[in-house]
Amino acid sequence: MNQTRKTTAIYLRTSTNQQEGGTATQLAKIKQYMDRQDLVIRDYVIYEDKGQSGAKASRPGLDAMLQCCQAGQHDRVIVYSFSRFARSTMQLIKGLETFKLLDIDFVSITESVDTSSPMGKMIFSIMASLSEFERDLIRERTKAGLERVKSEGKVLGAPQQYDIQAAMKLRFEGHSYQQIADIMGCTKSTAYALIQKGLIAA
């Protein structure tokens, strides 16, 4: 039986290395929040990512924290704001769903969200629903585009038949090329070609 004491994970991130004191400010705000909420947390581990864009799905500090969460070392994750943890709704929802499966509470002090509370659980459910609705809209737009191409007698299979902006949006939200391919109904190589074409045109 695993008797390891679970601790709280505190995640901090700054976008540039020039943001001196950025993570220190976030940590001070988190500690103030814990004092106001009477959260007695004696054991915690700090994970930091300095000079790391929030658009990156993989970051050294974040990856280390998630690995420890998967190993059952934490029962709570606290961040200064949603934007420090994720830069898209999809990325945030994926993280929250992971924590939910692992029975880990998530706290964002700026938004005053605590998934261990009834209000926090409701907010999470609303966000998850909106995210699913957005994915459905993308699928419907892609399907409509394919049907339009077919009705015009064009040959399917060329990257131009797919919505490049939709592919770029999915990639920005943290989806893998295979996931984008599955959503858009194309091959992984086609999804990659779409993203590259969108980057060149940007």
For the segment 134-160, what is each residue's pLDDT rounded down to a tens digit? Answer: 666 677 777 776 676 667 665 555 444
How many CB atoms sit inside 10 A of residue 121's CB?
14
Residues 6+ apart with CB under 8 A from 52: 13, 14, 15, 59, 60, 61, 62
Residues 6+ apart with CB under 8 A from 185: 142, 143, 146
For the segment 172-197, what is each residue's pLDDT rounded down to a tens digit? Answer: 778 888 888 878 878 888 888 888 77
> Quick one: pLDDT at residue 63?
92
> Quick one: pLDDT at residue 149?
64
Cα angle 173, 124, 142; round to 5: 40
Q: Is 84 left (phi over 0), alpha (psi -120 to 50) or beta?
A: alpha
Q: Is 5 exposed, middle or buried (0-12, 13-18, 19+ CB in 10 A)?
A: exposed
Kindly tell me the number of DSSP H helices and DSSP E strands found in the chain.
8, 5
Catalytic residue among 15, 116, 151, 176: 15
Q: Do the Cβ atoms of 85 and 56 come closer than 8 Å?
A: no
Residues of the chain with pLDDT under 70: 1-5, 17-21, 38-40, 55, 124, 127-137, 145-146, 148-150, 152-161, 198-202
Domains annotated on the chain, with CATH: 7-116 (3.40.50.1390), 135-201 (no CATH)
Is 83 among the residues known to form the active site? no
* CA pair distance 157, 159, nearest whole angstrom: 6
Q: Is the pTM of this model over 0.75?
A: no
